[in-house]
Each structure stands twice: as C-alpha cells, then as structure tokens.
Chains A and B, each alone.
Chain A
Amino acid sequence: MVLSSADKNNVKACWGKIGSHAGEYGAEALERTFCSFPTTKTYFPHFDLSHGSTQVQAHGQKVADALTKAVAHIDDLPNALSDLSDLHAYKLRVDPVNFKFLSHCLLVTLACHHPEEFTPAVHASLDKFFSAVSTVLTSKYR
C-alpha cells in the first residue's frame, strides 16, 4: 500500500484542521477502543481506564503527538517512527491486530467531530495512513 500525493495532502489538511484537539481525540479513540474491543485493555492493567481518566488522557496525548509527528514526516515514516518502532517491537509487543482496532476508532472519532472533513476520499486516505503507521510500528516484530 502506497500513500499517493493526494492521500498525503488529505491527511495533512485533515490533521491540520484538528489542531490542538489532537490530544483530546487521541484519548477518545483510546476510550472507544477499550469499550468496543475489551481485549485491548489487557495492555493497560496498570491504568485507571474509567471515563475521564487522567492516565488515558495523557496517553491519548502521547499517541496524538506521535501521529502529528508522523503527519509532518509523511514522506519518511520508517525514519521518523524508528524509535517508536523499536519500542513496540522489543518492549511493548502489542499484538498487530490491535493497531487495526485503534486505527478504526481514530476514524470513528474523527468522523464524529469533523463530519465535513470526513468525506469518502479523506476516509480512504486516513485509513491508508493509519495502516502505514501501523505497518512501521510492527515492522521490527520479527
């Protein structure tokens, strides 16, 4: 799967519109993931996962910041995300199936908050982008 220049433009434009809400959306996407796909909670036994949890908010911000960095370096994701890739491969070892769950919930969150932006073409570009990021984060798993 390759991100076309149209995809990259769609992602940059959409992420740009999100602006300072990125952290809030990251947290909401995590909450949605934990709700809809309860097996994902197994990676956070040390977290308070109740609604409004400050740990989830902080983690959502972390995820959002990483995605913002990915958007800024969309032409070279493997390099930009190399450290995160190492982290996920050697320390976190989150099963690859879970990246699809979080990616889906990120799409749902964006669809809820930015209906005007979430056109079919942008939906496709975002899905491809999250898939590309997920691929990089799992690239060193074996």
Chain B
Amino acid sequence: MVHFTAEEKAAITSLWGKVNVEEAGGEALGRLLVVYPWTQRFFDNFGNLSSTSAIMGNPKVKAHGKKVLTSFGDAIKNMDNLKGAFAKLSELHCDKLHVDPENFRLLGNVLVCVLAHHFGHEFNPQVQAAFQKVVAGVASALAHKYH
C-alpha cells in the first residue's frame, strides 16, 4: 500500500492543478504509441498510426488520452485509497480489455516525461519522486484485480 506524505500530496496536487488534462492526455498516449510501438496492439480500430505525426495528430488518440488522464486525475483525489478507487477499472482492464499491466508502468513513465517536458525546472527531483509514487500506485491498483 502506497503512503504519501503531506508534502508529496501537496506537490502532486499543486502541479496537477496546472495540467491541461486534454492536452497532456493526448501527448502521453501518443508518446506511448510512438516510443513503445508494440502498445499499438490495443488500438487496431484507431485508424492511422503509421507515423509519429499520424499518431500525435490522431483524434482518437487524443480523445482516448484525455479519457485516461481524466481517470488519472481521479487518482490524485484518492491517493489514500488507490486500490479502492481503481477496483472496477482493474477488472475492466483484465477481463474485457486484456491489457498486460506492464503497459500501465510504461504509460506512467511516459506521463512523467510529459510533465517534465511541460514544467521544466519546476519538475524538480522531489516533485518527480512524488509523481513516480503516484504512477506506480496507479499501475499497481490497476493490476490489483488481475487473475
């Protein structure tokens, strides 16, 4: 079970407040599909994923990225009970979507890169460490109901 200090929660909430969830979501999912092309296996019906620019400009990628990151934002409001907050989504990803949990770790790290890219020096080592805890916690919570 992940425990967040008051400082970590404050750093996370403060930075997240400045995130454009729609933009960052599209960016994170897009980069996942570019940097780790095998993740495209889940998105056969997304249309054109044939090049970096096609992926980053793909409207379905942007829409789905927004969905994913909106859900991630809910995690930030429930840092003390990530497993509870993501129980239903965990079942969905296992039973219906059949997504290997390794993909949650990959996306989490891509999200960290996107935040670093956007916030620059503000994304200092301590803020990064707090976010690494959140993304690890979310990945773990999403994998928790797998069987």
Contacts and interface: CB of A to CB of B under 8 A. Distances in A.
A124 B34 contact: yes
Given A32-B125, A32-B128, A35-B126, A124 B35 contact: yes
A88 interface: no
Interface in B81-114: 109, 112-114
Interface in B121-147: 121, 123, 125-126, 128-129, 132
Interface string A27-39: 0100110011100
B113 A36 contact: no
Nearest to B132: A36
Contacts of B56: 120
B52 interface: yes
A45 B129 CA distance: 20
B66 interface: no
Nearest to A125: B35
Given A107-B113, A113-B120, A118-B117, A123 B125 contact: no
Interface residues of B, number: 23
Interface residues of A, number: 21
Q: Which secondary structure dominates chain A's binding surface?
A: helix
Contacts of B119: 112
A115 interface: yes
Contact of A121 (B52, B117, B118, B123): B52
Given A120-B56, A123-B31, A112 B132 contact: no
A2 B132 CA distance: 28
B125 A115 contact: no
Interface in A65-109: 104-105, 107-109
**A-B pairs, 9 with minimum CB distance:** A111-B116, A111-B117, A35-B125, A36-B132, A35-B129, A124-B35, A36-B129, A108-B116, A120-B34
Interface of A: 28, 31-32, 35-37, 104-105, 107-109, 111-113, 115, 118, 120-121, 123-124, 127
Interface of B: 30-31, 34-35, 52, 55-56, 109, 112-114, 116-121, 123, 125-126, 128-129, 132
20 contacts: A32-B125, A35-B128, A36-B129, A104-B109, A104-B113, A107-B113, A107-B116, A108-B128, A111-B116, A112-B116, A112-B121, A113-B120, A115-B117, A115-B120, A118-B117, A120-B34, A120-B55, A120-B56, A121-B34, A124-B34
